[in-house]
Amino acid sequence: MSVIVEQLTKRFTTGGTPAVSDVSFHAPSGAITTLLGPSGAGKSTLLRLIAGLELPDSGSVRIEGIDCTHLPVQQRGIGVVFQSYALFKHMTVRQNIAFGLETRRLPRADVEARVDEMLRLIQLEDLGKRYPTQLSGGQRQRVAFARALAIRPKLLLLDEPFGALDSRVRVELREWLHSLHEQTGVTTLLVTHDQEEALEISQHVVVLSEGRVAQAGPPEDIYDRPATPFVASFVGGTSVLRGHVRSGRAEVGTLVVQAPNSAREGEAVHAFVRPHDIKLAKPPQGTSEPVTGRVERLKSVGGYVKVLLKLPTGETVTVEVPRSEFENLGVVEGDRVHADVRTATVFLGDFAI
Ligand code: ADP
């Protein structure tokens, strides 16, 4: 039950920049695959092409081995959930869930049994008679999932399904979707711009940038081994520092990181440093030894403290220090500090980001 997309291209204006450009990827059977990228990267267009809501200029979509590129939406065997709850307001929860089944002219008893099953699956057994306006945002979105799943789709397509919800409900529903997927095992494609959501929920991630695939692979690969500067900067809240190779190491401002093996002396580098991969230390009082930088700003964010470190080059680096470590560190704004980079992703060459 996999999805194979090959060389898909879609332009909305003749001769214009394609919204989706020569995109190929494979969404494995039974897994959640995320299409991750910033706004305008082409994620929704790609999902709509797979759903059959848009037609491609070229390329193909295969679902379960069947070429669906030119099949109408209804014949693709898919369920779709959008960001805005596209529930029918004049219908109860039960009627909403039954909708797709009734258009397929199933016997009444089968429809009722399937709706009951779906209500149990989304844990809203007692709310079947309510109307969408009588539900919370999270509950409405669960009904939208039940409606999409009722028809036993081969493929579930989710376009920013939690985008309209507040952050607490978002996180709750993310976990809920994880267990829902464990129960149903349906092959799922999820569009999101939220890298945390993508890394947490999916087994496979396709990162998109300007209509193209920047990298595809398991979440750990995307996070630990970003293939391009774009992926390195988009995933993980990194700071980007410029510098040069000196004696086999990359010197970026007052920080030193490991250079790639192929680095040549004097070559330009960009280092992408994650906020939790930097260790700060306060120099002993009264010493005037050189330091890495100065603490420009401190901001406590829940369980950690965000430190904005200003380097002598004028560049700033964001560092995240767990609250317990921060108390031992004992720094205040304006302090001069040492900083050690535990690990960084380094790309050779001079380029714009
Ligand atoms: P994303 O989902 O990653 O935010 P979209 O797929 O919505 O990106 O959009 C990709 C590009 O295609 C954007 O430049 C957007 O303006 C353009 N686009 C999307 N839909 C249409 C449309 N119906 N008509 C014209 N341009 C569109």
Residue 40 in contact with ligand 1 by CB distance below 6 A: yes
What does the pLDDT average to over 316-336?
93
> Do 83 and 193 contact (CB within 8 A), yes or no?
no
Average pLDDT of span 23-34: 97
Q: Ligand 1 mean position to 162 CA, how many Å? A: 19
| pTM (predicted TM-score) | 0.89
CB of 45 within 6 A of ligand 1: the answer is yes
Ligand 1 centre and the CA of 105: distance in Å?
Answer: 36
Contact 144, 87 (CB under 8 A): yes
Determine whether the shortest distance from the Cβ of 271 to ligand 1 is under 6 A: no
- What fold characterizes domain 3-233? Rossmann fold (3.40.50)
How close is the Cα of 13 to the center of ligand 1, in Å? 11
**How wide is the angle at C-alpha 113 spanned by C-alphas 111 and 116, nearest 5°?**
110
How far does the centroid of ligand 1 lie from the alpha carbon of residue 140, in Å? Answer: 26
Is 21's C-beta closer than 6 angstroms to any atom of ligand 1?
Answer: no
Tell how far the Cα of 28 is from the centroid of ligand 1, in angstroms: 25
Q: Provide the pLDDT for residue 1.
A: 58
From the alpha carbon of 44, which atom of ligand 1 is closest?
2
How is the chain split into domains, by residue range?
3-233, 238-348
Chain mean pLDDT for the chain = 92
37 lines ligand 1 (CB under 6 A): yes
Query: By C-alpha distance, which of 8, 48, 42 is closest to 25?
Result: 8
5-19, 132-146, 159-173, 291-305: least confidently modelled range? 159-173
Counting atoms of ligand 1 from 1, which one is nearest the CA of 47?
A: 6
Q: For atom 21 of ligand 1, which residue has the closest CA?
A: 12
Alpha carbon of 72 to ligand 1 centroid (Å): 21
Rounded CA-CA distance 253/264 in Å is: 18
CA of 160 to the centre of ligand 1 (A): 14
215-261: per-residue pLDDT in tens? 999 999 999 999 999 999 999 888 999 999 999 899 998 999 999 88
Cβ of 44 below 6 Å from ligand 1: yes
Q: Is 14 in the pocket of ligand 1 (CB under 6 A)?
A: no
Residue 85 pLDDT greater than 70, yes or no: no
- CA nearest ligand 1 atom 19, residue: 45
| pLDDT at residue 15, as a whole number | 86
The amino acid at residue 283 is: P
What's the whole-number mean pLDDT along residues 132-150?
A: 93
Minimum-distance ligand 1 atom for the alpha carbon of 39: 4
Dist. CA 215 → ligand 1 center (Å): 20
3-state secondary structure string, the chain? CCEEEEEEEECCCCCCCCCEEEEEEEECCCCEEEEECCCCCCHHHHHHHHHCCCCCCEEEEEECCEECCCCCHHHCCEEEECCCCCCCCCCCHHHHHHHHHHHCCCCHHHHHHHHHHHHHHCCCHHHCCCCHHHCCHHHHHHHHHHHHHHCCCCEEEEECCCCCCCHHHHHHHHHHHHHHHHHHCCEEEEEECCHHHHHHHCCEEEEEECCEEEEEECHHHHHHCCCCHHHHHHCCCCEEEEEEEECCEEEECCEEEECCCCCCCCCEEEEEECHHHEEEECCCCCCCCCCCEEEEEEEEECCEEEEEEECCCCCEEEEEEEHHHHHHHCCCCCCEEEEEECCCEEEECCCCC
Q: Which of 45, 206, 210 to mutate to test the pocket of ligand 1 (most atoms within 8 A of CB)?
A: 45
Note the CATH number of domain 238-348: 2.40.50.100
What pLDDT sits at residue 32?
Answer: 97
